[in-house]
Amino acid sequence: MKSRSLHAFMGEEVEDIRRVLTIAFRGTDGLSPQDFERTLSFDMEWVAPHEAEAAVKALHRAGWLKEVEGLLVPAVSVRDVAVPFGWFPRPSRLLQPVPASQATLPPKPASADAKSASNPGDDKERRKTTPAPVPTRDTGDPRARLLQRVIGYVARQSGLEREELQRRAERKQAAFDLITPWLAYALVAREQGLEMNGIVDALAVV
């Protein structure tokens, strides 16, 4: 039993690091160490700014990153990595990462993680960004207060810039006329082929 528990724990750590790499390197050919540090600290707020350099070096030493023409790139496959809505890693898993050789362990089923993150009301935003302007139609809708959270999620999952998401959402509103801003962004997410359960849960209003 202890061996099985340890195996599951290591699998969780592996999946967390793969998710970090998936989010950080989506849509790029590589990042400089400094850019990756800024992503971990200022953009995503996964580690404190003074810990970012140590985290990048630790991930590199552990074999999760490799250098190609002066840029860092993932040294392991990050294809088909599921990132549940509202997820964020423990800082210790970036500062003291397991060896990348553990990536051969069976991953933890995404459904279990998604279930634990299905109530976004319990999550605190880990990322403070300047929100892109969004349409203000239908401000009486209680879902409107969740709009920035949804925009951030769709941006991370799709790799699209917030400005481009706004343009597409506005186009949806112009085409359908009466739909609300949050529904417009949900339609863009669906158009990008994103898994919709997290967005549906995020927009649930009791």
Q: Tokens for 185? A: 């962004």
Q: What are the two backbone dihedrals, phi and then psi, of residue 71, each rounded to the nearest 5 degrees?
A: -115, 150
Taking only the tens place, the pLDDT of each residue in 106-126 is: 444 444 444 444 344 444 344
Alpha helices in 26-161 (DSSP H): 33-38, 49-61, 91-95, 110-116, 147-158
Q: What are the distances in angstroms from CA 115 to CA 86, 87, 138? A: 11, 11, 30
Residue 93 confidence (pLDDT): 94
| DSSP helix/strand/coil, 19 | helix
Q: Higher pLDDT residue, 126 or 13?
A: 13
Name 71's bridge partners: 68
Residue 97 above 90 pLDDT?
A: yes
Give the residue among 162, 168, 161, 156 at the shortest CA–CA distance from 199.
156
Q: What are phi and psi of 156, to 5 degrees?
A: -65, -45
Q: Could you tell me the sign of the dihedral formed by the alpha carbons of 51, 153, 202, 198, in that order?
A: negative
The pLDDT, as a whole number, for residue 198 is: 67
Three-state DSSP state, 74: strand
The number of CA neighbours under 13 Å toward the Cβ of 155 is: 20
160-171 mean pLDDT: 83
pLDDT in tens, 25-80: 988 889 999 999 998 988 788 898 899 999 999 999 999 999 999 999 999 988 88
Kindly report the average pLDDT of the chain as a whole number.
75
The rounded percent of the chain whose pLDDT value lies above 70 is 68
Q: What is the mean pLDDT of residues 70-91?
A: 86
Does residue 13 register a pLDDT over 60? yes
Q: What is the pLDDT of residue 66?
A: 96
Q: What pLDDT does 118 receive?
A: 38
The domains found in the chain, sorted by start residue, are: 2-114 (1.10.10), 129-202 (no CATH)
Provide the pLDDT for residue 182. Answer: 77
Determine the 3-state secondary structure of 45 from DSSP. Answer: coil
Which residue reads 């009301």 in tokens?
121
| 177/103: higher pLDDT | 103
The vertex-82 CA angle with 93 and 94, nearest 5°, equals: 10
Tell me which of 53 and 101 has the higher pLDDT: 53
What pLDDT, on the 0 to 100 scale, is given for residue 57? Answer: 97
Per DSSP, the three-state class of 155 is helix
| Least confident among 17-31, 153-167, 185-199 | 185-199
